[in-house]
Amino acid sequence: MAALVLGGCGKHDGAASADNLIKIGSVAPLTGPQAHLGKDNENGARLAVDEINAAGLTLGGRKMHIDLLSEDDQADPKTATTVAQKLVDSGVAGVIGHLNSGSTIPASTIYHDAGIPQISPSATAIAYTAQGYNTAFRVMTNDEQQGHVLGQYAVNKLGAKKIAIIDDRTAYGQGLADEFAKAAEAAGAEIVGREYTTDKSTDFMAILTSIKSKAPDLVFFGGMDPQAGPMAKQMKQLGLKAQLLGGDGMQTPEFIKLAGADAEGAIASNPGLTLDAMPGGKAFREKFTARFGPIQNYAPYAYDAVYVMVEAMKRAGSSDPAKYLPELARTDYQGVTGKIRFDSKGDVSGGAVTLYQVKNGTWHPLETVYSGK
Amino acid sequence: MDIFVQQLINGLVLGSVYALVALGYTMVYGILELINFAHGEVTMIGAMVALSVISALVGNGVALPGVVIALLGLLAAIPACMALGFTIERLAYRPLRNAPRLAPLITAIGVSIVLQNLAMLIWGRQYISFPPILPQGRHQLLGASITDVQIVILVTSVMLMLVLTLLVKRTRLGRAMRATAQSPQIAGLMGVNANTVISLTFVMGSALAAVAGVMVSAYYGLAHYYMGFLLGLKAFSAAVLGGIGNLAGAMFGGLLLGVIESLGAGYIGDFTGGFLGSNYQDVFAFFVLILVLVFRPSGLLGERVGERA
C-alpha cells in the first residue's frame, strides 16, 4: 500500500499477478425483460476479450491478461450508478456499457469523476455525449441521426400523413420519439396523437384504442422489444390498420418471437450497416453463433468497443486510463461494424442507419440511409 | 362513441382478470385477516407451468387443436397452483397463526420474493412467448372489436365467479368457511375443522389464480417471472376497493378497477390537455386505493366490521 501512496515512479512494484492484469467492466441488464439483449452485449465483449487474451497482449514490454468483470444494471438508472461505483472501486481500466441510455447517462458521471474511459456499444440518446465528458464514447450512431432518418423515411418513403407516437418514457424511447417527431413534422406529416407507456408494461389496449380514434396511417414506437412485441399483437386485436415503425430497440429476433404472426410488415431501423454489409460481419456471425447462438442485436458493437479500447491501450503502451484516454479519442479503427472514428463529443462519425422490415417471420433489410448529421 | 365502447371492453376484460385474482386475496382475508402478498406470484407460477406444458406439446408436434393444447396447459397449472397455495399456507402462515399481525405479512412478502426468484431460476429471465395456437377471430360489437380470447376471458371469469358464489352460499363447505370467518373458536366447537377450511380456502383461491395467470399470458401472448407482482398489487387494490373480505366486493372492485384503468389511460391526455399522459396507467389503481382508504376504508360493498370481541 505504501508504494501506492508514494505514487510517481514506484507505481508498479505490487504483486506480479495483479500487475499483469487489466480489468475491463461490462455492464448491461442481465435480469428482467431486456436480459436477452444484455447477455448479447456481454457475450460480444467476452468474445473480443478471449480473442485478445489468446493472441497475447503486450503493453510496454509486459505480457498482460484482460479480465472481463460483468455487472447487471437491470436497465435501471439507480442500480446502474451502484454497479458503476462498484466497478470503479474494483479498479477497472475501462468500461464497455451500459446498454440503455437511461442507465448509461447517470453512470457516465461516476466514470468521468474517476477518470475511467467508457464506450457504450448501444446507448444512443443524444444526452449521453452532450454532457461534455471526455471519458464518454459510443460506437453506435446516435438518436438524433436515427430519429431524423426514421422521420424522413416515414413521410417520404412510406407516405405517412397522420402519425401517432408512443414512447416508453425512458431516455432512449423519449429521445428517439422526439427526434422522430421533429423530422416527421418538418417533412410535412401531422402528429395526431402522442401516448406514453413504461418499459415494464404489457397492456397497451387503452392507448392503442385512443390512437385508433385518431385514425393514423402510421404508429411510431420509441422503446424496446418486450413492449413492441405485445404492442404489434394488440394493434391487430383492435383492428388498428396502421404501419408500425420503430427504432433499434425493436429490430430484434425477440420482437418477432413475441409478436408472432402479427410482426409481419413491421418496419424498424438499426444504426449502422446490416451485419452482412459490415466489413467483418459474416465472419463475426460465424464466430459468435458457434459459441453463443444467434445474435440478438448489439453484440458486434460490444465486440468492436473492446477492440477499440485495447487498441488505444496498445498505442499508449499502458492500461492506465490517464495515459490511454487521449489515444482513445484519436481512434481510427476498422472494426466489424465499420470504420470507427470519434468526433469531439465522443460520438461515432458517419451516421449510417439501416431500415428493416419483417417478411415471412424474419427481418429483411430495406435500405441503408446516411443521415448526413 | 365506439371508442368508448372499445375502452369499456378493454377495461372489462382486464377487470375480470383482476377480479379472479382479487377473490383469492379477499377469501384469505375473510378467514384469516391476512393479506397473502404471495398471491400474485401464484398467478405467475400458473402461467409459467401452463406455458411449459403448451410449449412442450407444440414443440413436439402434438397434433391437437390449439384450444385443446391450451386447456391441457390449464389443467396442469391448476393442480400445480393448488399444491403451491396449500404449501405456502402450511409453511409460511400456519406456524404464525397466533403471532402478531405484522409477522405473517412479512413472511408473505418473503414468499413472494422467493417465488419470483425460483421462477427466474427455473424459467429464465426473459419473456416467454405464448405459442400462437389460439383462434385469432375478431368480432364487431357496437362499433368496437372484441377477439375470441377476450370473449373466453370474460365468460370464464364470470362463470368461475358464479361457481364460487354458489359454493360459498349453498354448500356445507361454504357454510363452514363463513362460520370460520365469523369466529374460528366457535366454529371449532361446532365441529368445523378450521385448519382444513383454511387450507381449502388457499387451494381454491390458488386455483382461480392459476386460471387468471393462464388467461393473462394468452391475452398478452407472453409471461415472465415478475408478471405477478404488479398484477397482484392491482388485484389487492381491487379487493380493497370492493371491500376486503367481501366476495361480491372483490368481483365488483376488479371489474371497476379494470374499467377505471382503461378509461383513465385512454382519456387522461385529452382531459388534462397533455399535462398528464397515458404512462400513468399503472398509477390509477393505487390512486383509487388511496382514495378508498381515506374516504371509505371498508370499501364500496364492505360493512364496517367492529373489532372482534
Residue A189 makes CB contacts below 8 A (sequence gap 6+) with A154, A155, A160, A161, A162, A163
Does B143 map to a domain? yes
Give CA–CA dist B46/A45, Å, rounded.
37
Give DSSP secondary structure letters for A193-204.
EEEE--TT----
Cβ pair B107, B99 in contact under 8 A: no
Does B309 map to a domain? no
In B169-228, the residues whose Cβ lies within 8 Å of chain A are: 220-222, 224, 226-227
CATH, residue B232 = 1.10.3470
Strands in A46-123 per DSSP E:
57-59, 62-72, 94-96, 118-120
pLDDT digits (tens, 9 = 90+) for B65-75: 889 999 999 99
Q: How far is B291 from chain A (nearest CA, A)?
A: 23
Residue B307 clears pLDDT 60, i.e. is over it: no
Residue A168 makes CB contacts below 8 A (sequence gap 6+) with A174, A196, A197, A198, A199, A201, A222, A223, A224, A227
- Interface check A60 vs B, CB under 8 A: no
Residues of A in contact with B129 (CB under 8 A): 229, 257-258, 260
A71 phi/psi in degrees, rounded to 5:
-125, 155
Instruction: Classify each residue of A260-277 as buried b or exposed e, where b means 16 or more C-beta atoms within 10 Å of its C-beta.
Output: bebbeebbbbbbbbbbee
What are the Cα distances from residue A131, in Å, to A104, A105, A145, A172, A263? 12, 9, 18, 16, 37
Across B3-17, average pLDDT: 94
Give CA–CA dist A333/A307, Å, rounded.
9
Q: How high does pLDDT run on average in chain A? A: 91
- Tell me, what's the pLDDT at A4? 43
Look at B274 and A202 and tell me if their CB atoms are within 8 Å.
Answer: no
B263-266 long-range contacts (CB < 8 A, ≥24 apart) are B263/A206, B263/B7, B263/B8, B263/B11, B264/A206, B265/A206, B265/A207, B265/A210, B266/A206, B266/A207, B266/A209, B266/A210, B266/B3, B266/B7, B266/B10
Cβ pair A250, A266 in contact under 8 A: yes
Read off the amino acid at residue B20: L
Q: What is the pTM of this model?
A: 0.85
Give CA–CA dist B4/B112, Å, rounded.
37
Return the percentage of chain B with pLDDT > 70, whole number.
Answer: 97
Strand B138-141 to strand B144-147: parallel, antiparallel, or no bridges (unpaired)?
A: antiparallel
A interface test, pick of B1, B2, B8, B10 with most A CB neighbours within 10 Å: B10
**Which residues are registered as beta bridge partners of A222?**
A167
Residues of B in contact with A169 (CB under 8 A): 279
- Tell me, what's the pLDDT at B141? 83
C-alpha cell at A306: 473492446
Report which of A202, A153, A195, A160 is spatially closest to residue A174, judged by C-alpha positions: A195
Residue B156 makes CB contacts below 8 A (sequence gap 6+) with B211, B215
- Tell me, what's the pLDDT at B303? 61
Does B306 map to a domain? no
B interface test, pick of A209, A213, A236, A264 with most B CB neighbours within 10 Å: A209
Give CA–CA dist B147/A329, Å, rounded.
56
Does B192 map to a domain? yes
C-alpha cell at B36: 397473502
For Cα atoms B80, B212, A239, give the angle at the middle one, nearest 5 degrees: 135
Sheet containing strand A362-370, edge to edge, reads A190-196, A162-167, A218-222, A243-246, A267-271, A352-359, A362-370
End-to-end CA distance of chain B: 53
Give CA–CA dist B103/B87, Å, rounded.
18
Look at B278 and A258 and tell me if their CB atoms are within 8 Å.
Answer: no
For Cα atoms A358, A360, A364, give the angle at the middle one, nearest 5 degrees: 40
Which SS3 state, helix, strand or coil, does residue B206 take? Answer: helix
Residue A70 makes CB contacts below 8 A (sequence gap 6+) with A25, A26, A27, A30, A42, A46
Searching chain B, which residue's CA lies closest to the CA of residue A234? Answer: B220
Does B128 map to a domain? yes
Report which of A68, A53, A55 is spatially closest to residue A23, judged by C-alpha positions: A68
B interface test, pick of A34, A192, A197, A205 with most B CB neighbours within 10 Å: A205
- Tell me, what's the pLDDT at B304? 53
Burial class for A207, CB neighbours closer than 10 Å (0-12, 13-18, 19+) = buried
Searching chain A, which residue's CA lies closest to the CA of residue B269? Answer: A195
- Interface check B4 vs A, CB under 8 A: no
Q: Which helix (H) or strand (E) holds B308?
A: none
Does B278 map to a domain? yes
Residue of B309 and B157 predicted with greater confidence: B157
Look at A205 and B222 and tell me if their CB atoms are within 8 Å.
Answer: no
Cβ pair A153, A272 in contact under 8 A: no
In A246-265, the residues whose Cβ lies within 8 Å of chain B are: 254, 257-261
C-alpha cell at A143: 438518436
Look at A206 and B278 and tell me if their CB atoms are within 8 Å.
Answer: yes
Q: Which helix (H) or strand (E) holds B79?
A: helix B66-88
- Structural domain containing residue B4: 1-295
pLDDT digits (tens, 9 = 90+) for B112-162: 999 999 999 999 878 899 988 888 888 888 888 899 999 999 999 999 999
Q: State the sign of the Cα–Cα–Cα–Cα dihedral A98, A104, A106, A107.
A: positive
Predicted confidence pLDDT, tens digits, chain A (373 residues): 444 444 444 344 334 456 789 999 999 999 888 888 999 999 999 999 999 999 999 998 899 999 999 999 999 999 999 999 999 999 999 999 999 999 999 999 999 999 999 999 999 999 999 999 999 999 998 998 899 999 999 999 999 999 999 999 998 999 999 999 999 999 999 999 999 999 989 999 999 999 999 999 999 999 999 999 999 999 999 999 999 999 999 999 999 999 999 999 999 999 888 888 888 899 999 999 999 999 988 999 999 999 999 999 999 999 999 999 999 999 999 999 988 999 999 999 877 899 999 999 999 999 998 866 5
Q: How far is A332 from chain B (nearest CA, A)?
A: 37
Report which of A157, A173, A234 is spatially closest to residue B150, judged by C-alpha positions: A234
Residue B1 clears pLDDT 70, i.e. is over it: no
B261: left (phi over 0), alpha (psi -120 to 50) or beta: alpha
Does B301 map to a domain? no
Q: How far is A261 from chain B (nearest CA, A)?
A: 8
What's the domain count of chain B?
A: 1
In A296-355, the residues whose Cβ lies within 8 Å of chain B are: none
Taking every pair of Cα atoms in chain A, the longest distance, rounded to a whole number of angstroms, is 72
Report which of B128, B129, B132, B130 is spatially closest to residue B66, judged by C-alpha positions: B132
Cβ pair B206, B28 in contact under 8 A: no
Give CA–CA dist B86/A2, Å, rounded.
61
Give CA–CA dist A165/A159, Å, rounded.
16
- Tell me, what's the pLDDT at A372? 63
Does B307 map to a domain? no
Quote the DSSP letter at residue B93: I
